[in-house]
A and B are shown apart, each in its own frame.
Chain A
Amino acid sequence: MSELSSLPRRPAETSDFANVGRAAWWQRGFFASQTAYVGLALVVVIVAMTLANPTFLSAGNVANVAKNFSFIAIATLGITLVIITGGIDLSVGAVMCLAAMVTSMTMQGLDQAGMALLPGLSMLLAVVAGLAAAAVVGLVNGVLIARVGLSPFVTTLGMLSIVRGLSYVVSNGRGSYPAGSDADLFYGLTSGDLFGIPAPFIYLVLLAGLMGFVLHHTAWGRYVFAVGGNEKAAELTGVPVARMKIAVYTLSALAAGFNGIVMSGWLGSAPANLADGYELNIIAAAVIGGANLAGGVGGPVGAVIGCVLIEVIRNGLVLANVNAYWQKALVGCIIILAVLVDKFRTRRAG
């Protein structure tokens, strides 16, 4: 293209990006994100709590904390996907309950029907049934939002009520509990330890790793961010926006369902009010960890950090003999503080 060189070169004006090199490593990517400084705040809180009460870092307490935050963290991973696309899912708490209940009832039913042919089979079928129930809820959410065009807030608010109501109806308000020949196996895999590590924590780490990889290295993951960044632009350039939305709502429900099933193992039952109101904790954890409700920003690391921070503060307050009722108020303060700091930071950068 020799004819191109005839264009007079005006360095200061034609070189569009000359004055913006790649920012230093600590000013870009993860390190410039809300997730990073909330992570830093978490470290500070942990150090402070350890100084105040050395039992905080004891093996027993750490395992306890790890288990406790895992109970909402898997659902937080799922809702983070929805939040990245610019949506919201209020039905996660109710879905946790529904999936746990379907699993418990299926396990009991299969056992009573004499279907427990192989050890573990009825548990496996029960878990699949619970997850399938959750997936159906997510699919309905997704189709109503992406294809019919309803608002995510209203759709999932309605679904919260429908699903919670169903849980009361099928159990007559009494709930259910995992029972049968596979019950011990079920309890072992949900609230027990695997290789000396709490099982829910292992599931969380595996799922978070998988999610991080998929979000950053696959086209599917990049689509999630494109939909949240500018839906119209994504649509124009051929991103299957509707399909992506249906997928994230389904995955959010699946994650919540799995989390509910694990939780019922820890509780030893699936009461009809299981995870009642948890949707707010889950959304709070995602937002504290850096997911932006306006869409386009978020990730598994943030989701996990948000959950850990909430649990560490709850746990620390208990160890410090502070009235546990303060926890909710404090979590609220942290949500606002985290978003506030981000606001100041971006204003300075902009």
Chain B
Amino acid sequence: MTTPIVEMRGIVKSFGAVHALKGVDLHLMPGEILGLVGDNSAGKSTLMKVLTGAYHRDAGEVLVNGAPTHFRSPHESRDVGIEMIYQDFALCGNMDVGQNIFLGRWPKRYGLFVDRPRMYEEARKVLDRLKVDVNSVFQKVESLSGGRQQSVAIARAISFEPQVIVFDEPTANLSVMATERLLETMAELKRQGVAQIIISHRLTDIFEVGDRIMVLKRGENVGDRYIRHTSEKEVLELIVSGTRETALTADEALQQAA
């Protein structure tokens, strides 16, 4: 069996008296698209922030490619190929597309001056890989629509050549068209071997591109199913009334159904 690219075991995280995560497990295979769902305050974002190192876990293990890790900040998880795309995209609206893709690490000449021709050229290459048109790496980001801003955020993420991309509510603020485009981009990234975790409230989106879906409820695992062998109805039931007993693993669930 291949090693999961990400494996989280028994993750515990509390904020004062609030137990956000009570021993959550998660695994992600290379090139897999995993949907992470659950009601508000289920602990989805917290779990992902523990993964990227934005939060520090109280207990549990995080393994990347089988090796234990202790990230203290998102910079460190980026070094091993984990990228997160935030709900607000984390872009600088006052700067253009090219500069945003290489925000904070612009190609330099003599270690001091920004090498603009090379920056725009490389930005264009990244957008090409994403299959988005690049007429305008010069466009200011604040003048772009939400969907396009997201493309820029994704382009920045893939410019780090990540193995894993985490999307936090990627379709929450997008139009139908932009959502379609995003799902295509995700399928494209999957073809290129990038594993992805999608936090979303929209089951339809996850059922369209996902391989597997994992349900959290009040900081616990309550379900793990293969998309091919489950239904939106079953997942909704897990979200609403799932328990530790319904958690299983996707393979166990499959055997039980058989």
**Chain A residues in the interface with B (C-beta under 8 A):** 1, 3-4, 7, 13-18, 20-22, 28, 217-220, 222-223, 225-226, 228-230, 232-234, 236-239, 295-297, 349-350
| Inter-chain contact B103/A239, CB cutoff 8 Å | yes
28 A–B pairs (Cβ distance < 8 Å), ordered by A: A3-B191, A4-B192, A7-B187, A7-B188, A13-B177, A14-B133, A15-B132, A15-B133, A16-B127, A16-B133, A16-B148, A16-B151, A17-B132, A17-B133, A17-B148, A20-B136, A20-B144, A21-B136, A219-B106, A222-B99, A225-B95, A226-B95, A228-B94, A229-B91, A230-B90, A237-B105, A239-B103, A297-B94
Shortest CB-to-CB span from B53 to chain A, Å, is: 12
Q: Shortest Cβ distance from B149 into chain A, in angstroms?
A: 10
Judging by beta carbons under 8 Å apart, are B90 and A232 in contact? yes
Interface contact B105-A16, CB-CB below 8 Å: no
CB distance from A43 to the nearest CB of B (A): 26
Contact yes or no, A233 B90, CB < 8 A: yes
Q: Are A218 and B112 in contact (CB under 8 A)?
A: yes
**Interface residues on chain B, number (Cβ under 8 Å):** 42
A233 touches B91 (CB 8 A): yes
Q: Mark B162-186, 1 if CB is under 8 A from A, else 0.
A: 0000000000000001001100100
Q: How far is the CB of B82 from chain A (nearest CB, A)?
A: 13
- What CA separation (Å) do A230 and B93 show in the bound complex? 7
7 interchain residue pairs of minimum CB distance: A229-B92, A15-B133, A296-B94, A237-B104, A16-B132, A233-B90, A229-B94
* A14 touching B94 in the complex, CB below 8 Å, given contacts A226-B103, A237-B104, A239-B104: no
Q: Which residues of B pack against A, CB within 8 Å?
A: 74-75, 90-95, 97, 99, 103-106, 108, 112-114, 127, 129, 131-136, 138-139, 143-144, 147-148, 151, 156, 177, 180-181, 184, 187-188, 191-192
Q: Cα distance A4–B135 when bound, in Å?
A: 20
Complex CA–CA separation, A297 to B93 (angstroms): 10
B52 to chain A, nearest CB (A): 10
Cα separation A349 to B91 with both chains bound (whole Å): 20
Given A15-B132, A218-B112: A20 in contact with B191 (beta carbons within 8 A): no
Contact A226 B113 (CB under 8 A): no
- Of A7, A17, A220, which one neighbours B184 at CB under 8 angstroms? A7
Tell me the bound Cα distance from A319 to B138 in angstroms: 46
Q: A219-B114, A237-B105 are contacts. A226–B136 as well, Cβ < 8 Å? A: no
Most A-side CB within 10 Å, residue of B92, B127, B184, B192: B92
CA–CA, A349 to B144, complex, Å? Answer: 12
Query: Which chain B positions have C-beta within 8 A of A217?
Result: 113-114
When C-beta atoms are compared, the residue in chain B nearest to A221 turns out to be B114
Please indicate the chain B residues that have their CB under 8 angstroms from the CB of A219 in the complex.
Answer: 106, 108, 112-114
Which chain B positions have C-beta within 8 A of A230?
90-93
- Complex contact A236–B90 (CB within 8 A): yes
CB <8 Å contact, A22 and B132: no
Please measure, in the bound complex, the distance between the C-alpha atom of A18 and the C-alpha atom of B184, giving whole angstroms.
17
Bound Cα distance A237, B147 (Å) = 21
- Bound: A239/B99 CA distance, A: 13
- Chain B residue contacts of A218, Cβ below 8 A: 112-114
Q: How far is the CA of A229 from the CA of B156 in the complex (A)?
A: 16
Asked whether A238 and B132 contact (CB < 8 A) given A14-B184, A230-B92, A232-B90, the answer is no
Complex CA gap A239/B75 in Å reads 11
Q: State how many angstroms separate the Cβ of A216 from the closest Cβ of chain B.
A: 8
